[in-house]
Amino acid sequence: MVLIEEIGEEYFALDMLDDSPADAGGQGQIHIDPEQQQEEAEDGVMPEGRGKVIRSDFSGDRQYAVELVETDTHLSIELWLTRDSKAGRPDPLLQCREFVEKPILEPTIDARNAYYISLSYSASWISLTDATTDYLPKPESGEPPAGVFRIYEIVRSNPSSPMSPNQCSIALRRSATVERLPGLPNYYGFGKFHIADDDNNDNIKKEVFITCNGATVQVYSLYGGWKYLHTISLDHPERAGTRFNVAAEMITSLQGRLFAWMVHGTDMIAVYDMEQGSMVSSVTRTCLDRGQTAFKTALDISGNGDLLAVCREGILTTHYTKDGTLHNVLRLPAEFSDVSTIVFIGSLRLLVLIRQEGTSRLDKRGLRINVKDMSIQDTFHTPATGHLQPLRADDLNYIPYHPITSACDGACQSSMSLLCQHPTEVTSSDLHFQVELQTTVVVLPWKSQDLRSAVVTITSLDGRSSKTFTIPPACYYEDWWLYETAVFLEDRGQLVVEGQGVVLIWGLPTSFDGDFTLVLAWLVGPRNAEWATCSHRQLYYRPRRFLSRRINNVNDDDNQLMWIPVKPGVGSSVPQERTEILSFLRGFDFIIDMSLQASEAFKRAIFQYVGLYMSVEVFDINILALVIKNWTPENYDSLERFMAAFLASPSGVMHPTTGSVSYVRLVLLCGRMDPRSIGIARVLIDKCIRQARAAMDVEYLVQIMRSLPELLDPKQPHSVLALHTLRRVAYFPVSSRKFVINHHTIAHPPTFRLWPWGRHMRPLHLCKDPILQLSEKRIYDPQNDNFTRELFVAPFDMLWEVRRKTPGSGTASDTVNNLTGAGLLHLAYQFLRAVLYKLTPERNARVRCYDFTLEMLDNPALSALVEYKWNTIGFKYWLVRFLCQCCFFLLVFVTVLMQTYNNALQSSEALYIAIISCSAVFLYLEFIQCFRGWTRYFNSMYNLVDLLAFGFPLAAAINQLLILREITSSDEVTMQLMQLNAGLFGFSVPLLSLHFGGRYDPITDNLDSDNWAFQILMIAYFFFTVILMLNVLIALLNVAFNNGDMSWHQVWLRNRMRVVESAENMSYQIPGFREAHNWFPQEIYYSVTHEQTVAYKKRWVSEGEGGDQDILRDKGAQAVLLPGEAGVGKTAMNSPMPRSVTPSSESNQNPTLVSSETNTVGDTAAPPATPPAVTHIKAGELDMTLKKQDDLLRSQFVKLERQMKLQQASFEGQIETMDARFQQQQAFFQAQNEMQDARFQQLQESSNEQIRLLIEQLARLHPTTGAQP
């Protein structure tokens, strides 16, 4: 959403309510500006920060700007200097950053819109107002809404110098005096600094602060000190809680002395004068459909205050503010009818922004309109940049507007032609199309029903090639729909199939190999509707009530209202009218049922149609989620096969979403009714993981992470799927390794060093298994090039669930300043608050770790997440608890020593009371742990040891306080001790004599006799008891040791996870702790070696997981109907789709289908057949079957491996033999070549000799020849 607010005549600000990055100033957020964009472009990826800029405002001279940045738990107020000629970019004034705790941890886009920040004209005051909790359900207790209201004064150390970070220090000081003015204590609503008279040169004297809470407007003066001026009553106070959206529109439309207000319960808009406090005029907004609530009313006042612009339901009107008369009106084009904001640029131009889905975070579009004649000049796009600079109206990307003209108007409805009058044959794109309805009969156990399929025959003009395209009968919730008409709209190149409220519009292919495209699938309410087209081939239908008027000859003056147009969406947009949306959504149900028993061409068309709209949200819910919500135990198999086939197709691309709907969680919730829905969840999870790994983007795993609370619930039968899912996301690769290496901070494990205040300076490649997090600073270290390990990312959503803070659960804390500058009182308050939170039995924990089993904790990603939190906050939290217990046990030890060896006569009641107090505190903490889960508490023997360790000192100290005796030294009772020792010695002598005295001979003579049977039994007894049982004991100890050696790391990790969970929850209770330390990222990066990755995957496969199987391919292959499979859809269990009749099928009382047409071309798809039998197998039998199959596959694999080795050995022997033969042949050929070379050389020499002799003979003959006359 984009809010535009005018700043002067040429500038306006854009408040982006999206994930716009902001500079955090050391908090892990990055501000994107032109210079930084060029710097980060070297790495090929832009940094992503955790902060989101949700509001911004500029000062009067547009030199200073304030940003409201949203983090996980707080709002950050940042002041910026927008003019810097040297750097060419804004300079953040980090000295005046403020943090405010949010009342809602995870607000929606609408709730985020309720924050408002304003900067005064002279950049001296900042106001922060909030109405976010109004967008949540009202608490039953009737408590007032919890909001944030702050007034800050900007304090400069050198007011005469310009505001620059290098010349003066800046600080924000909360003004408690201003917040105590009438109407401002505990204020909840909107507020803004405003100048009522722009023509006055002394604007500072005219500046006021205006608040609006939905019922009243209060005005305060700033010049010469804050003063309350007056209050303007707008509505009843009890309606204030429902009028905050109107209050926000009123604040943004302030212009001069005037503001506009939409009166509750009417269509009237009132114009008020804020100085006089009275209404000036009123206008009536245009409303075509009074029951329609989907459209927003946008309004604004011109720069000179003469005109008021109102936009409602795509109709833009301008009115004079002095008397409310209409100035002009414009009906916006259909593609620009959903208006989010309008704003005047001066008094002659008007900008209109629309709401649109699927666009960039910053890229928005709209219209520029000339106010004088209300003509559309052109369209514009906002530049998609993140730099903080006020935009000029001329800087927008303007594009000339070319309207999409439609020849269809109201007059064409007077000459309507029925749909059945259109042709059934048409020639288009050198192809001949013919459609006919093929009648079939469905035989059910209780009745027979006639159905029709639409068969299209495509023939080339030369008649050599032909094929058919079949549209199967429509079925919707066990109800068959009979096609009545199938015709062509020759001018549009479309095929329309209609029957009993079902209408399918198909686009014809342009070539013989092309496919049909589904343009629209509707399911309207009336079954007996009449369908017709106008002269421009626009499709209309007439409901049943208008048909009765025509039959009964009832005259209707407005005949045009009888016909309702069928308007498909444009691109991936959906229809706007409520009736059109419902018909559009119901169309998805029956086309899914039709797709799985049709041809491949039909399936491709259905998949393309569903993929076009799968990411579109209607009624605040995704269309794919609506399809999944239609799951029932009867259609689980058909929906699972459809989802698998659809997601395996090129059209089934699941885009990363940050919405509140999780497809996987919806399916798992359906699994509470029937566990068979887990198959659909497995398909969705597989698709998300595959797309995430292909794109190397962890955002694709959002659907899985939001379903983990349901997936890891031990009460649900999802443990196997949960284990498999966690293992598949264990090693998730990083998309930009170089960027992480250059922007990282290492979370070093806690170590005891000689100088504790020093920093770790070890390079990255010398750290053992380093865990990294992103940092806003870019530090290039050449030694990091030696780090060659792979990096993987792990989000903290995989470890725990962050619960949203409910309104009324706690009040917002005071503004958090720097902890180092806090006083002793503030530190004491923090300590007391943390202690009270720790001692609260039913405290509302923000973070709750999932209930992992030991097998699930064998995951490197979970281990890295726990290790990171232990290195940062977990160890510190544990160390404090450890030191406290050490002090307690040291106190007990010192008390015992003093009681035993102290010579002085002194009382020890104080020590006993201290022991009792400490023991009671520790036992109370143990009670809190037991209270949160007594089953898990008593399953651990360490908790029982803790109870004994704290219980015994408590009992001993109480006993000592009850006895109150003193122990003196032995010097004072020497005689008494001598008498006591003599008595003890005298008593012990007869005791020993009686004990060892009596009969010294053996009791029986059997041991002395030669009783071989007795001796053999004794030997056997000693053998079994000493040797055999001892070996058994050793074997059991060996098994126990092996089990402990395999699971000790998981047990250790789970105990650390509980400590980390407590530390994370405690961090929310210490004001300013999460802002002062950069220890709370959304994701971390860990490194492992390649050998560790391979070993983990081998262990995963060896445990029977079977590797990363292609579930989409396997399930998608089943979507093709095979012999013996049932029809699909919601009738797959009870009433299957039509199939051929056989003698056996008539006797088994199953639905059958008989074709009554014999002269039609057969369908290219395989006919459906009987449903498969369902066999119920117990869990133990299934495990045994799977194990047998696994053993069989392993044995076959071993045999195949042996055969491959034998073949490889034979191949190697053959290759060696061939090499030897080749070498022999090569040597033979080389010898022959040498012999031929020698012969050629001899021949050459002999020829040369012959030539020489011939030349000599010629030379001898030459003188003789020349001497003749």
- Is pLDDT at 720 greater than 60 in this prediction? yes
pLDDT at 46 over 80: no
The CATH number covering residue 346 comes to 2.40.128.630
**Distance in angstroms (rounded) separating the CA atoms of residues 521 and 638:** 20
Mean pLDDT of all residues in 689-716: 87
> Which of 186, 214, 233 is where one domain is finished?
186
Tens-digit pLDDT profile for residues 261-279: 887 767 788 888 888 888 8
Task: Report whether pLDDT(1174) > 50.
Answer: no
Per DSSP (E only), the strands in 728-814 are 732-733, 744-746, 771-774, 790-795, 800-802
DSSP 1168: P
Average pLDDT over residues 438-453: 64
What are the strands, taking DSSP E only, across 139-286? 150-156, 170-174, 190-195, 207-212, 216-221, 227-233, 258-262, 268-273, 278-284
Same domain, 11 and 104: yes
Residue 870 pLDDT > 90: yes
pLDDT confidence of 871, banded at 50, 70, 90?
Answer: very high
Encode pLDDT of 907-943 as tens digits.
Answer: 678 888 899 999 998 898 888 888 877 777 887 788 8
DSSP class per residue in 484-524: -EEEEETTTTEEEEEETTEEEEEEPPSSTT---EEEEEEE-
In a domain, 378, yes or no: yes
Q: Are residues 181 and 260 in the same domain?
A: no
Count other C-beta atoms under 10 Å from residue 908's C-beta.
19
Do 135 and 263 lie in a common domain? Answer: no
Chain centre distance of CA 976: 82
Q: Which of 362, 382, 405 is the last residue of a domain?
A: 405
d(CA 21, CA 48): 7
CA 764/CA 1242 separation, integer angstroms: 75
pLDDT of residue 20 exceeding 70, the answer is no
What local confidence, expressed as pLDDT, does residue 886 receive? Answer: 93
Residue 242 lies in a domain: no
> What pLDDT score does 1163 carry?
37
Range of the domain at 1203: 1175-1217
Q: Angle at CA 583, nearest 5°, toward 578 and 589?
A: 135
Q: Could you tell me if residue 684 is inside a domain?
A: no
Residue 831: inside a domain = no
How high is the pLDDT of residue 407? 58
Which pLDDT score, from 0 to 100, does residue 883 have? 92
Indicate the pLDDT class of residue 1149, thresholds 50, 70 and 90: very low
* pLDDT score, position 861: 93
Q: Does residue 378 sit in the same domain as residue 298?
A: yes
Same domain for 380 and 296: yes
Q: Highest mean pLDDT: which of 304-318, 356-370, 821-835, 1195-1209? A: 304-318
Burial (CB < 10 A; 0-12, 13-18, 19+), residue 1259, is exposed
DSSP-assigned letters across all residues of 1025-1074: IIIIHHHHHHHHHHHHHHHHHHHHHHHHHHHHHHHHHHHHHHHHHSTTHH
Residue 222, judged by CB atoms within 10 A of its CB (0-12, 13-18, 19+), counts as buried
Confidence of residue 775 (pLDDT cuts 50, 70, 90): confident
Q: Of 291, 70, 301, 293, give the one whose Cα is nearest residue 198.
A: 301
Angle at 979 between CA 973 and CA 985, to 5 degrees: 130
Classify 147 as helix, strand or coil.
coil
CB neighbour list of residue 431: distance below 8 Å, 6 or more residues apart? 458, 459, 460, 461, 508, 509, 511, 512
pTM over 0.75: no
Spatial distance between the Cα atoms of 687 and 681, rounded to a whole number of angstroms: 10
In a domain, 942, yes or no: no
Per-residue pLDDT at 638 exceeds 80: no
pLDDT 10s digits, 467-477: 999 888 876 55
Q: Which of these ranges, 566-570, 773-777, 1160-1164, has the smallest mean pLDDT?
A: 1160-1164
Please, are residues 255 and 301 in contact by the beta-carbon 8 Å criterion?
yes
Whether residue 105 is found in the same domain as residue 24: yes
The verdict on 43 and 144 lying in the same domain is yes
Q: How far is CA 415 from CA 410, 515, 540, in A?
A: 10, 34, 12
In a domain, 1, yes or no: yes
Average of pLDDT values for 623-651? Answer: 75
Over the stretch 288-337, which tens digit does the pLDDT of each residue have?
Answer: 444 444 457 888 888 888 888 888 877 888 888 888 888 888 888 766 77
What amino acid is encoded at 582 in this protein?
L
In the Cβ-directed half-sphere of 1139, how many Cα atoms lie within 13 Å? 27
In a domain, 1020, yes or no: no
**pLDDT confidence band for 526 (50 / 70 / 90):** low
Q: Which of 702-711, 931-940, 1002-1011 is predicted most confidently?
A: 702-711
Q: 134 and 20 in one domain?
A: yes
- pLDDT band at residue 882 under the 50/70/90 scheme: very high
Q: Is residue 115 part of a domain?
A: yes
> 139-143, 665-669, 769-773, 954-958: lowest mean pLDDT where?
139-143
In this prediction, residue 30 carries a pLDDT of 28
Section 425-442 average pLDDT: 82
Range ranked top by mean pLDDT from 576-580, 831-835, 1046-1050: 1046-1050
Q: Are residues 173 and 279 in the same domain?
A: no
If one counts every other C-beta atom within 10 angstroms of the C-beta of residue 420, the result is 14
Distance CA 934, CA 558 (A): 73
The pairing of beta strand 11-16 with beta strand 2-7: antiparallel
Taking 90 as the threshold, does the pLDDT of residue 429 lie above it? Answer: no
> CA distances (Å), 244 to each of 261, 286, 330, 380, 1057, in order?
11, 22, 28, 30, 43
Mean pLDDT of 133-138: 60
Q: Which residues pair with 360 in a beta bridge?
A: none
How far from 97 is each of 19, 94, 101, 152, 167, CA to CA, in Å? Answer: 20, 6, 14, 11, 18
**In this predicted structure, what is the pLDDT of residue 391?**
58
Instruction: Give the whole-angstrom CA distance, residue 114 versus residue 3.
Output: 12
Local confidence band at 23 (pLDDT 50, 70, 90 cut-offs): very low
**Are 304 and 291 within 8 A, CB to CB?**
no
pLDDT at 363: 52
**Summary count for the chain: helices (H), strands (E):** 29, 51
Domain count, the chain: 3
DSSP letter at 295 equals S
Residue 1236's pLDDT band (cuts 50, 70, 90): confident
* Arithmetic mean of pLDDT over the chain: 72
Clarify whether residues 401 and 274 are in a common domain. yes
Report the alpha-carbon distance of residue 395 to residue 11 in Å, rounded: 10
Q: Which of 23-32, 445-454, 876-885 has the lowest mean pLDDT?
A: 23-32
| Listed residue (539, 551, 544) closest to 497, CA to CA | 539
pLDDT surpassing 80 at residue 1172? no
How is residue 41 written in tokens?
């472009």
Band (pLDDT 50/70/90 cuts) for residue 873 is: very high
Tell me which range, 595-599, 667-671, 1052-1056, is most confidently predicted by mean pLDDT.
Answer: 1052-1056
Side chain identity at residue 419, one-letter code: L
What amino acid is encoded at 970 in this protein?
S
Q: Which of 184-198, 349-363, 924-938, 1221-1235 has the lowest mean pLDDT?
A: 349-363
d(CA 368, CA 844) in angstroms, rounded, equals 50
178 and 290, same domain (yes or no): no
Percent share of the chain, pLDDT over 90 = 6
Indicate whether 735 pLDDT > 60: yes
Burial of 825 (0-12, 13-18, 19+ CB in 10 A): exposed
* pLDDT at residue 636 is higher than 50: yes
Among the candidates 127, 158, 186, a domain finishes at 186
pLDDT (average), residues 665-669: 81
- Predicted confidence at residue 28, as pLDDT, reads 28
Whether 289 and 171 map to the same domain: the answer is no
Average pLDDT over residues 131-156: 68
What pLDDT does residue 1164 have? 37
The residue-averaged pLDDT of 503-520 equals 87
**Does the pLDDT value for residue 227 go beyond 70?**
yes
User: Which residues share a beta bridge with 621?
Assistant: 618
